[in-house]
Chain A
Amino acid sequence: MESIGVLMMCPMNSYLENELEKRFNLLRFWTSPEKSVLLETHRNSIRAVVGNAFVGADAQLINDLPKLEIVSSFSVGLDKIDLGVCKDKGIHVTNTPDVLTEDVADLAIGLILALLRRLCECDRYVRSGKWKQGDFKLTTKFSGKSVGIIGLGRIGTAIAKRAEAFSCPINYYSRTVKPDVAYKYYPTVVDLAKNSDILVVACPLSDETRHIVNRQVMDALGPKGVLINIGRGPHVDEQELVKALTEGRLGGAALDVFEKEPHVPEELFGLENVVLLPHVGSGTVETRNAMADLVVGNLEAHFSGKSLLTPVV
Chain B
Amino acid sequence: MAGASDTPLVLLHRPPSLDFMDEILSRNFRILNTDTSSEPLPIFLSRHASSARAFVVVGRFFVTAEILSYLPSLQLLVCGSVGFDHVDLAECKRRGVVVTNARNAFSDDVADCAVGLLISVLRRIPAGDRFIRSGDWEKYGEFRLGSKVSGKRVGILGFGSIGSFVAKRLEGFDCVISYNSRSEKPSVPYRYYSDILSLAANNDVLVLCCSLTEQTHHIVNREVMESLGKDGVIINVGRGKLIDEKEMVKCLVDGVIGGAGLDVFENEPAVPEELFGLENVVLSPHSGVATQGSLDNVAEITLANLKAFFSNRPLLSPVQLD
- Give the interface of A toward B (CB within 8 A): 11, 102-103, 105-107, 109-111, 113-114, 117, 119-120, 122-127, 131-132, 134-144, 161-167, 262-264, 269, 275-278, 280, 283-288
Contact = CB atoms under 8 A, between A and B. Distances in A.
Given A11-B142, A119-B284, A127-B276, A166 B112 contact: yes
Contacts of A280: 123-124, 128, 143, 145-146
Interface residues of B, number: 58
Interface in B229-251: none
A127 to B, nearest CB: 5
Contact of A132 (B145, B170, B270): B270
Contacts of A142: 112, 116
Nearest to B174: A102
A162 B173 CA distance: 6
Contacts, number: 179
Interface of B: 17, 108-109, 111-113, 115-117, 119-120, 122-126, 128-133, 137-138, 141-143, 145-151, 168-174, 268-271, 276, 282-287, 290-295
A109 B141 CA distance: 24
B129 A275 contact: yes
A109 B120 CA distance: 10
A123 B119 contact: no
A122 B288 CA distance: 11
Nearest to B112: A142
A106 B150 contact: yes
Contact of B125 (A103, A120, A285): A120
A176 B109 CA distance: 35
Given A135-B287, A280-B123, 11 more contacts: A102-B149, A103-B149, A119-B282, A123-B126, A125-B285, A139-B290, A142-B116, A264-B137, A269-B133, A283-B145, A286-B148
Contacts of B292: 138, 140-141
A165 B172 CA distance: 6
B173 A131 contact: no
Contact of A138 (B125, B151, B172, B291): B291
A110 B147 CA distance: 13
B292 to A, nearest CB: 6
B291 A140 contact: yes
Contacts of B169: 165-166
A114 B115 CA distance: 10
Contacts of B147: 284-286
27 contacts: A103-B148, A106-B148, A110-B120, A110-B149, A113-B115, A113-B119, A114-B120, A117-B116, A131-B268, A131-B285, A138-B291, A138-B295, A139-B291, A140-B292, A141-B294, A142-B116, A161-B172, A164-B172, A165-B172, A264-B138, A276-B133, A277-B129, A280-B124, A280-B143, A280-B146, A284-B147, A284-B148
Contacts of A278: 128, 131-132, 137, 143
Contact of A126 (B130, B148, B284): B284
Contact of B146 (A113, A141, A283): A283
Contacts of B108: 141, 143-144, 167
